Structure 1
Amino acid sequence: MVVGIDGSPSSQAALRWAVRYAGLVGGKVEAVTAWEVPGEASWSAPAVDATFDEEQAERLLVDEVRTVLGEDGASLVHEKLVHGHPAQVLVEAAEGADVLVVGSRGRGGFRRALLGSVGQQVALHAPCPVTIVRPDVPAE
C-alpha cells in the first residue's frame, strides 16, 4: 500500500492507519512524499524554503516516519521522495498498489474545506481503492 506523507496531522494519522492495516493483511507500506523545487508554482510537502534541497527533504521524510511510528514501526515502512505535484505523484505511485492512503487535510489549501485538493484528486484518479483518514481528534 502507498501512503502520502506531508507532515500534517492528517498524513500522520494516515501513516498510522496504513501501518495498522498492513499488519492485519500482511501488506507492505510505502510512505511517499512529493517534493517540488522551491519557486515552482505550487505547494510542496513538506513545506520548504529556498535553501532547502532534496537531501534535506529525504531526511525530513525519514525523520517524520520515525517520529510518528517510532523505530520499530518505521522499520516496517519504505520511504520514497518523488519530485512532482503531490496528487500526480501519489496517483502514479499507486500503480499496482492494493490501496492508496491519504489524510483528509494536508499542509496547504483552505482550512474550512472538508477534503483537501490532493485527497479529491487521488480519490478521482487513483488506479486502486483510496482510504482517506481524518486526523486524530483528542477526546474532550
Structure 2
Amino acid sequence: MDESAAGKAIAGIVVGVDGSPLSVEALRWAMKLEPAVGGPITAAIAWQFPAAAVLGAYPSMEWSPEADAREVLQKTIEEAYGDSPPEGLKTLVASGPAAHVLIEATRQARLLIVGSRGLGGFMGLMLGSVSAACAEHAGCPVLVLHTPEDSKAAPTASAAAPATTASA
C-alpha cells in the first residue's frame, strides 16, 4: 500500500473508511467497480483530536488519534480484502472533519464511495451527516451504500411524496 495520496490530487475511486461494516463493504464495491470506473482505489480515513483534549482532558501523552486511525484503516482493508488487496491500493490518513477530508480528496477523483451512516449517528436516519455532505459537495459522483435495515426504515412507495419537476 502507498500512503502517498496525502496532499496530491487523487484520481480513481476514493472510499471513505471508518471501520464500520459499511466501510468494509464500500471497499469491496470499489474493487468491483474499479475495472469500469478506473483506478487506483484510495482508502481514506480522517482523524481529529477530541474536543476534550483541547480542554486539557487528554487521554494520555502516548495516545495518538492518527495512529488509531491508521490502525482502523489497516484492519478495515484487511477485513475487506484479506491477503489480496487490489493492485495499486493507496491510503490517505488525514487530520480534519471526515466530510471535509473526503470532499477535498474527490477534487480529481472519478467516484467516491461512502456508507450511509458510520459508527456514530442516530439509528433510523437514512443518511448521516458525512454522507449527506459528501453527496452534496463532492467533486465527483458519490455512491452511498445502505444496510438492509435502512431499507426497512424507508417509507413505502405509497407513503412517499410524489416527485415533482420544475421547468424553466
Classify the TM-score, shorter chain: 0.7 to 0.9
CA RMSD of aligned residues (A): 2.2
Confirm whether residue 109 of structure 1 aligns to residue 118 of structure 2.
no
Please, what TM-score do these two structures have when normalized by structure 1? 0.82
The runs of 4+ residues in structure 1 deviating greater than 6 Å are none
Report which structure shows greater RCO (CA 8 Å, sep ≥6).
1
Confirm whether residue 100 of structure 1 aligns to residue 100 of structure 2.
no
Tell me the secondary structure at the aligned position of residue 79 of structure 2: helix
Please, what TM-score do these two structures have when normalized by structure 2? 0.69
Q: CA 1:25/1:99 → structure 2, altered by over 3 Å: closer, same or farther?
A: closer
Is the 1:3–1:18 contact (alpha carbons within 8 Å) kept by the matching residues of 2? yes
Equivalence map 1:1-140=2 (5 Å): 1-39=13-51, 50-51=59-60, 52-53=63-64, 54-73=66-85, 75-135=87-147
CA distance in 2, matches of 1:116, 1:97: 22
Is the 1:33–1:61 contact (alpha carbons within 8 Å) kept by the matching residues of 2? yes
Could you list the runs of 5+ residues in structure 2 that have no partner in the other structure? 1-12, 150-168
Instruction: Tell me how far 1:55 sits from its aligned partner.
Output: 2.3
Quick check: which has more Rg, 1 or 2?
A: 2
Tell me the secondary structure at the aligned position of residue 72 of structure 1: coil
Cα deviation 1:116-139 (Å, max 9, x = unaligned): 1111000010111111112477xx
Cα deviation 1:92-128 (Å, max 9, x = unaligned): 0111000111011111111110111111000010111
Q: How many residues align?
A: 130
Is the 2:16–2:45 contact (alpha carbons within 8 Å) kept by the matching residues of 1? yes
Is the 1:103–1:119 contact (alpha carbons within 8 Å) kept by the matching residues of 2? yes
Is the 1:95–1:127 contact (alpha carbons within 8 Å) kept by the matching residues of 2? yes
CA distance in 1, matches of 2:69, 2:18: 11
